[in-house]
């Protein structure tokens, strides 16, 4: 699904060049549930941004679903690929403050030219899946952190992506809520969607099937923790 | 494109920056207001100039007798040149490209006219038949003077509509007699002439007037209109007329004051080209005023884009293309500009209407207004201005890198 070969990325900091990723080789298969771990500055968020076509890379090759992602991809093409294949969940939720829950969830479909009525209907279905249908008319400011993140997950799912990228999705949540969120990701993964979570928390990474550890821009080793893998739960979690 | 989402976001942006948006909108409204008022004033000048010429034939020449200022063939200067019927005939025979012609004898004499017990003072103008064509007078009933009236010295007259209304009220004037200070004239027609002061007259045959009012064969003015091909050679024709008259009346062809020849076509063209120049100047002033407004809108859109960098990044991350971002920013700019511009347009038209209602008119300025094509041009200009104002900010917004925008969180 996602394949990186000898991928390099650096940033210019003043006069000096700072190498963030130093020849990453990585292969994530369809349907995997992967976490990328590393301390601050290890390059994990940069890696996620490149995988999510939010950022470009300097050297190497990146294949998404077998298609080479060009180093100098245009913004329009990148937007189209993101819209078609990828979904994003961020630590700070990144919901639009002036849109209510259902409008936030429906937003990706707006850019796919789906009619307002149709996309709101679909958004309600996804809100129902994350247990927040009753909160559909509420603004983000009226919701808890866990509820906001569920809305963000519903928004990432509405385009029926092949891969969900989550950058520290539990970073702003308490442990119980974090566990609930990870349960939802497990549910999503059980439906065949590849999930890539960036985290610095061991507890969170242990809930994934495969842990990729990054240090100073290099993959250290790969674990397959298979620890505390949460069994698929047909009952959807209830809101906080 | 005009979905609720777009409007929702536009209104939200405006409500977030009410004062700033209002102040910017005022500058756009002011730009359009100034443009409309200036264009209306320009139109007022145009209307004033038109009124000066009335609706008479534009490609025409007026020839009047004057006084010599140059000694010639042993004759001292200061000699009065009196035009006569023979001059009129000679000009008609010798000068090419004449379309219609007339001559006037004592064209400004106001006489007391009487019908039954009604009295009124109107100008009695003795002319030739084609005068009604030169004046562009429209016959309402009866006929105008014809050549038989001239040849037979008939005491007939064609009267303007106000004369008819004053003397005859609802009565049919045709066939009735008007007394002009002791001379009875039979009314043969009623005309309507919208030219300035051209309607409050009666026309009588020039030959009759010369005989009745002791005019002998004198003529005050010869009026000629030129065929279109002659209009281009009007200057040459003026010189030919001058030479012809100089030869006949024995004065120097270089003496500009011996006879006065007014070339209305040239005069009209000169004034119209001056007004066209004023109009261009008005557009330039208006557009530059408007540009100040556009820069304001562009500035506020730049600030809005900067404030919404993160939001734009989120939108891009979830699939917004650069073109969709560009469209959204441009729509906002067009919306602000369109609303403000329309307010300016309405206020400008309102002021012009007020001026019209109050009736601030003078010799060279009357009925300032903005016609429909100008209003449409202004509307198109407003929309284009909005798009231009939004263009640079929208390009900046489209270039926002989602990763940088999200990192700013």
Distance from CA of A150 to the nearest CA of B (A): 16
Residue B154 reports pLDDT greater than 60: yes
8 Å CB contact of B409 and A116: no
- Return the closest-CA partner of residue B51 out of B387, B330, B317, B366: B366
pLDDT at residue A224 in the model? 53
Annotated domain spans of chain B = 4-53+269-408, 67-104+215-257, 106-199
Q: A-chain residues within 8 Å CB-CB of B12?
A: 98
On whether any CB of chain B is under 8 Å from the CB of A43, the answer is no
Using pLDDT thresholds of 50, 70 and 90, give the confidence band for residue A233: very low
Q: B-chain residues within 8 Å CB-CB of A92?
A: 409
* Average pLDDT rounded to a whole number, residues B148-153: 94
Residue B293 reports pLDDT greater than 80: no
8 Å CB contact of A98 and B398: no
pLDDT at residue B119 in the model? 92
φ, ψ of residue B71 in degrees (nearest 5): -65, 140
- Give me the interface pTM, i.e. the ipTM: 0.83
Q: A-chain residues within 8 Å CB-CB of B401?
A: 54-55
- Return the closest-CA partner of residue A5 out of A32, A28, A38: A28
Question: Per residue in A153-197, pLDDT tens?
Answer: 999 989 899 999 999 898 888 888 889 889 999 998 999 999 999
Report how far residue B125's alpha carbon sits from residue B379's, in angstroms, rounded to the nearest whole number: 49
pLDDT at residue B82 in the model? 93
pLDDT at residue B363 in the model? 66
- List the structure tokens of A53: 């076509």
pLDDT at residue A14 in the model? 82
Dmax (CA) for chain A in angstroms is 55
Distance from CA of B396 to the nearest CA of A (A): 13
Using pLDDT thresholds of 50, 70 and 90, give the confidence band for residue A238: very low
What is the number of CB-based contacts under 8 A between chain A and chain B? 66
Burial of A45 (0-12, 13-18, 19+ CB in 10 A): buried
Phi-psi region of A131 (alpha: psi -120 to 50; beta: other; left: phi over 0): left
Using pLDDT thresholds of 50, 70 and 90, give the confidence band for residue A236: very low
Q: Which residue out of B6, B14, B313, B318 would a mutagenesis test of the A interface target, given it has the greatest number of A Cβ atoms within 10 Å?
A: B318
Name the percent of chain B lying above pLDDT 70: 94
8 Å CB contact of A54 and B4: no
On whether any CB of chain B is under 8 Å from the CB of A148, the answer is no
Q: A-chain residues within 8 Å CB-CB of B402?
A: 54
Task: Check residues B258 and A236 and name the one with the higher pLDDT.
Answer: B258
Chain B CA closest to residue A79: B319
**A2-222 is classed CATH 3.40.50.300:** yes
Question: Per residue in B341-354, pLDDT tens?
Answer: 889 889 988 998 88
Using pLDDT thresholds of 50, 70 and 90, give the confidence band for residue B55: low
Q: Which residue out of B9, B15, B317, B401 would a mutagenesis test of the A interface target, given it has the greatest number of A Cβ atoms within 10 Å?
A: B317
Distance from CA of A2 to the nearest CA of B (A): 18
On whether any CB of chain B is under 8 Å from the CB of A126, the answer is no
Name the percent of chain A lying above pLDDT 90: 49
Q: Which residue out of B7, B16, B312, B319 would a mutagenesis test of the A interface target, given it has the greatest number of A Cβ atoms within 10 Å?
A: B319
Q: Which residue has the tokens 């005069």?
A: B267
On whether any CB of chain B is under 8 Å from the CB of A120, the answer is no
Question: Per residue in B237-282, pLDDT tens?
Answer: 888 999 999 999 999 989 989 999 888 877 778 888 888 888 888 8
Residues paired with A210 in a beta bridge: A34
Chain B CA closest to residue A49: B403
* Average pLDDT rounded to a whole number, residues B290-316: 83
Strands B60-65 and A67-68: unpaired
Mean pLDDT is lowest, of A187-191, A227-231, B139-143, B391-395, for A227-231
Q: Choose the closest CB to A55 out of B12, B311, B403.
A: B403
Q: A-chain residues within 8 Å CB-CB of B321?
A: 75-76, 79-80, 111
8 Å CB contact of A108 and B318: yes
A35: three-class secondary structure by DSSP:
strand
- List the structure tokens of A25: 């080789």
Q: What pTM does this model have?
A: 0.63
Distance from CA of B398 to the nearest CA of A (A): 9
User: Hey, which of B193-202, B243-252, B301-310, B353-362 has the most confident mean pLDDT?
Assistant: B243-252
8 Å CB contact of A103 and B314: no
Question: Per residue in A123-147, pLDDT tens?
Answer: 999 999 888 999 999 999 999 999 9
On whether any CB of chain B is under 8 Å from the CB of A129, the answer is no
Question: Per residue in B9-41, pLDDT tens?
Answer: 678 777 767 887 888 788 888 888 888 888 888
Element of type H or E holding B211? helix B206-212
Q: Choose the closest CB to B321 out of A79, A92, A116.
A: A79
- Return the closest-CA partner of residue B296 out of B257, B265, B337: B337
Question: Per residue in A18-76, pLDDT tens?
Answer: 889 999 999 999 999 999 998 888 888 899 999 999 888 999 999 998 899 998 888 88
């Amino acid at each position: 699904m996602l394949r990186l070969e000898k991928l390099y990325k650096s940033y210019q900091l003043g006069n000096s060049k700072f190498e963030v990723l130093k020849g990453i080789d990585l292969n994530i298969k369809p349907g995997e549930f992967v976490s990328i771990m590393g301390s601050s500055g290890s390059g994990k968020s940069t890696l996620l941004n490149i995988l999510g076509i939010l950022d470009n890379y300097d050297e190497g090759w990146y294949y998404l679903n077998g298609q080479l992602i060009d180093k100098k991809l245009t913004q329009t093409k990148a937007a189209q690929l993101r819209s078609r294949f990828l979904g994003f969940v961020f630590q700070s939720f990144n919901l639009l403050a002036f849109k209510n829950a259902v409008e936030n969830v429906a937003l990706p479909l707006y850019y796919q030219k789906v009619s307002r009525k149709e996309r709101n209907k679909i958004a309600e279905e996804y809100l129902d899946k994350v247990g927040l249908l009753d909160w559909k008319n509420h603004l983000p400011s009226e919701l808890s952190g866990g509820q906001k993140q569920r809305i963000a997950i519903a928004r990432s799912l509405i385009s029926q992506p092949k891969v969900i990228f989550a950058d520290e999705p539990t970073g702003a949540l308490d442990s119980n809520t974090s566990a609930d969120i990870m349960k939802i990701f497990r549910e999503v993964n059980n439906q065949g969607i590849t999930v890539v979570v960036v985290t610095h928390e061991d507890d969170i990474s242990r809930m994934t099937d495969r842990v990729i550890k990054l240090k100073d821009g290099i993959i250290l080793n790969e674990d397959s923790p298979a620890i505390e893998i949460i069994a698929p739960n047909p009952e959807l979690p209830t809101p906080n | 494109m005009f979905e609720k989402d777009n409007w929702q976001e536009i209104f939200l942006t405006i409500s977030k920056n009410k004062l700033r948006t209002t102040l910017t909108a005022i500058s756009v409204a002011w730009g359009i207001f100034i443009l409309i008022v200036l264009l209306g004033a320009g139109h007022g000048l145009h209307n004033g100039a038109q009124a000066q010429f009335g609706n008479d034939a534009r490609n025409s020449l007026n020839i009047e007798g004057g006084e010599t200022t140059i000694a010639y063939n042993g004759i001292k200067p200061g000699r009065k040149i009196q035009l006569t019927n023979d001059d009129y005939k000679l000009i008609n025979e010798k000068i090419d490209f004449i379309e219609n012609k007339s001559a006037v004898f004592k064209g400004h004499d106001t006489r007391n006219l009487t019908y039954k017990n009604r009295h009124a003072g109107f100008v009695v103008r003795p002319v030739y038949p084609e005068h009604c064509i030169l004046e562009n007078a429209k016959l309402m009933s009866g006929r105008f003077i014809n050549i038989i009236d001239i040849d037979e010295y008939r005491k007939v007259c064609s009267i303007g509509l106000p004369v008819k209304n004053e003397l005859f009220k609802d009565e049919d004037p045709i066939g009735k007699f008007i007394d002009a200070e002791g001379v009875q004239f039979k009314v043969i027609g009623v005309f309507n002439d919208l030219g300035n002061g051209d309607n409050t007259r009666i026309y009588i045959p020039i030959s009759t007037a010369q005989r009745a009012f002791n005019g002998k064969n004198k003529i005050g003015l010869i009026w000629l209109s030129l065929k279109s091909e002659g209009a281009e050679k009007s200057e040459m024709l003026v010189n030919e007329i001058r030479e012809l008259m100089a030869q006949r009346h024995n004065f120097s062809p270089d003496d500009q004051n011996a006879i006065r020849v007014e070339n209305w076509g040239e005069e009209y063209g000169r004034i119209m080209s001056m007004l066209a120049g004023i109009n261009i100047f008005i557009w330039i002033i208006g557009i530059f005023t408007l540009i100040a407004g556009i820069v304001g809108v562009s500035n506020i859109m730049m600030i809005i884009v900067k404030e919404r960098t993160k939001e734009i990044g989120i939108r891009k991350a979830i699939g917004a293309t650069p073109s969709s971002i560009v469209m959204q920013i441009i729509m906002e700019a067009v919306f602000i500009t369109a609303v403000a511009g329309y307010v300016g347009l309405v206020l400008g038209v309102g002021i012009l209407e007020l001026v019209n209602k109050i009736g601030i008119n003078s010799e060279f300025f009357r009925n300032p207004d903005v016609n429909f094509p100008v209003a449409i041009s202004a509307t198109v200009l407003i929309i284009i201005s909005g798009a231009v104002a939004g263009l640079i900010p929208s390009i900046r917004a489209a270039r926002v890198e989602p990763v940088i925008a999200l990192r700013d969180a």
